[in-house]
Amino acid sequence: MKQRSRNSARRDRKLAQLCAQVEEIVSLALGDAADHRLQDLVVQSVSPGPDGARLLVTVVAAPPSDLESLEELHGALESARSWLRQQVAAEIHRKRTPDLAFQVLPPWDDEQ
């Protein structure tokens, strides 16, 4: 029982470490993106799927952003998915590079 708990804790720690690495890599890559729309995005978080094979990258758009521009940004991220995965693959050392999914949030509201 303790062995299973230890293995689970180790796996959770490694998954959290992977998410932190991917967050940093994607943040840097977006800043260097050829598509200027992606350069102003801020990576808020990276969270794992159940097995770590897929990661959800949550980004915050720059103001002003309406629903149409958020959808456009999501499409731009989807178009850049393979390039972003290549950037991740070049920096992390894993057998398989995780797939990336994206969520685009509206800008933070500083007035609250």
Q: Which domains are assigned to the chain?
A: 2-105 (3.30.300.20)
Q: Which amino acid is at 23?
A: E
Whether residue 6 has pLDDT greater than 80: no
pLDDT digits (tens, 9 = 90+) for 28-86: 999 999 999 999 999 999 999 877 789 999 999 988 878 899 999 999 999 999 999 99
CA-to-CA distance for 55 and 47, rounded, in angstroms? 6
- Which pLDDT band holds residue 5 (cuts at 50, 70, 90)? confident
Do 41 and 61 contact (CB within 8 A), yes or no? yes
How many CB atoms are located within 10 Å of the residue 99 CB? Answer: 11
Cα 9 from chain centre: 23
Cα 4 from Cα 18, distance rounded (Å): 21
